[in-house]
Structure 1
Amino acid sequence: MIQSSPGISDSAELPQAEAFDAAAVVRGIGRLFARNDIWCIPEMPLRNGRRADLMGIDPKGRIVIVEIKVARADLLGDGKWPDYLDFCDRFFWGMPPALDRAPLEGPDFKPDCCGIIVADGYDAEILRPAPLRPLNAARRKTEVERLARAALRRQTALLDPACVEHLRGA
């Protein structure tokens, strides 16, 4: 079970710019997940051409994807999010506290299979846990390997940018 923070306040205490800053939401979710031994990387390409905002692995080797939304229009206009469900064991919506979560309760957003996390730049809280929808073992193995290789490639680029630049030229 994921341990949430003591609580995320509603946006009345947050500056408006920060309340709708995607990077702040990612940072808060990253802190929540780190406390729970879930390690994610941002902007992970999927094999179907989509890109997960956050994708990671929990302590039991299960894959978690978080789709970040910081604007109501972006949330309501997102028709591609179901494409992520084939690549994870758990799916969450991540959003700032000020964003109206009411649309996520409607049938178009499948509340029975999607969790909700609210986050600011300091922390995050799970408002609705994401139910486990286990991937096929072969699919999970493939996705875990892809995620590990992407994380290692990014780490290598941080340690030695010339290494990655050399590979691009090859």
Structure 2
Amino acid sequence: MSDFHQPGQLLARGVCRHLSGYGFVAVEEFSPTRGLRIDVMGLGPKGELWVIECKSSRADFQSDTKWQGYLEWGDRYFWAVDMDFPTDLLPANTGLMIADQYGAEIMRMGPETKLPAARRRVLTHKFATYAARRLQALRDPQL
């Protein structure tokens, strides 16, 4: 990837690659509701939804005051950080991925908290719509 990508975007790329190995599809910068933007949302082969927040530095993590609001939007929650990140800062009751621009590894599985069926339906539809619009924008930028 070129230099114009931010460190968090490079982590997101590696996370998306890793998730595909589990049969997931993923979108970056997904907004489940007004005011929230999830770095990576993964949709699994059994309909599970994972939320992954990419943090490129201690300052990036410490300035994030909204992360607990993301917990209710997925079945599992993960942090994705690089190898140099001080992982002892991250809450122990969340998932952890070590990532770079080429891939990732799950170091700690996030605890599962199943979404209510109605929220899952809404999020899955929103995920599909968002992904389709992004694909269409690539295929037809004039649209």
TM-score, normalization: structure 1?
0.77
Mapped pair 1:132 → 2:118: no
What SS does the corresponding residue of 2:123 show, helix, strand or coil? helix
Aligned residue for 2:129? 149
Return the letter of the residue paired with 2:115: L
Q: How does 1:71-150 map to 2 (within 5 A)?
A: 71-104=57-90, 109=91, 111-112=92-93, 114-150=94-130
Q: CA deviation at 1:120?
A: 1.1
Indicate the larger mover: 136-145 or 154-163.
154-163
Structure 1: where are the runs of 5+ without partners? 1-16, 164-170
Q: How does 1:41-52 map to 2 (within 5 A)?
A: 41-52=27-38
The 8 Å contact of residues 75 and 113 in structure 2, kept in 1 or not, is answered as yes
The 8 Å contact of residues 19 and 42 in structure 2, kept in 1 or not, is answered as no
Q: Which 4+ runs in 1 deviate beyond 3 A? A: none
Counting aligned pairs with the same residue, the percent is: 35
What SS does the corresponding residue of 2:138 show, helix, strand or coil? helix
What value does the CA root-mean-square deviation take over the aligned residues?
1.5
Return the letter of the residue paired with 2:135: Q
Q: Which has the larger radius of gyration?
A: 1
**Superimposed CA distance per residue, residues 111-146 of structure 1 (whole angstroms, 9 cap, x where no aligned partner):** 22x100011122211110111110000000000000
Structure 2: where are the runs of 5+ without partners? none
TM-score, normalization: structure 2?
0.91
Instruction: Measure, in 2, the Cα distance between the counterparts of 1:34 and 1:28.
Output: 10
Q: Count residues in correspondence.
A: 139
Instruction: Measure, in 2, the Cα distance between the counterparts of 1:27 and 1:74.
Output: 18
